Homo-oligomer: A and B are copies of this chain.
Amino acid sequence: MISDRSEVTKMILSAKVLKGIKWKDVAEQLGKSKEWTTAACLGQMTFDKAQAETVGGIFGLSDEAVAWLQIVPYKGSLPTAVPTDPLIYRWYEVVNVYGSTIKELIHEEFGDGIMSAIDFSMDIQREPDPKGDRVHVVLSGKFLPYKTY
């Protein structure tokens, strides 16, 4: 009996290690970006029926698990409000150190509103650099203005 999407995420993670599956190969089979695919496999996005079955096939999931992949999950992938993992913490630090900067510059360019985290995409690439390769990330979110009424 599965009563929570997170149980399916655990099954996927377990199968991934046992079978040595790579996220980018899953993405290729789905015909989606590796970013969206990974987020969905980690229980943050919702698959449609065909996608869920493809994923179920790759990871060897039961029909019940495949049904859960089509259910909108309770989102949030981190165990604590301030993340302890160094890689994820660096992103939290960027928000903490540059947060007011990001706010000022978006408002200077667009006025009052936000950058959507829903109508949003992310792209992560290796950027070769002789002084040491870099992680190059592009975030694109629709600007949503506050409206008067």
Spell out A's residues near B (CB within 8 Å): 1-4, 10-11, 13-14, 17-18, 20, 22-24, 32-36, 38-39, 42, 44-46, 64, 67-68, 71-72, 74-122, 124, 126-127, 129, 131-149
CA A136 to CA B11, docked complex, whole Å: 35
Complex Cα distance, B140 from A120, in Å, reads 18
15 more A-B residue pairs beyond the given contacts A22-B108, A23-B105, with a C-beta to C-beta distance below 8 A: A4-B10, A33-B149, A42-B101, A42-B104, A75-B84, A76-B85, A77-B100, A78-B84, A88-B99, A91-B117, A94-B122, A109-B126, A118-B146, A119-B144, A137-B140
Q: How far is A35 from B127 in the complex, measured between Cα atoms in Å?
A: 20
Cα of A105 to Cα of B103 in the assembled complex, Å: 27
Top 5 closest A-B pairs, CB basis?
A76-B84, A3-B10, A77-B100, A115-B135, A90-B117
Copies of this chain present:
10
A134 and B141 in contact, given A13-B3, A95-B92 (Cβ under 8 angstroms): yes
Closest chain-B Cβ to A138's Cβ sits at a distance in Å of: 5
C-alpha spacing A102/B122, complex, angstroms: 9
Q: Which residues of B contact A10 (CB under 8 A)?
A: 1, 3-4
Q: A103 contacts B115, CB within 8 Å?
A: no
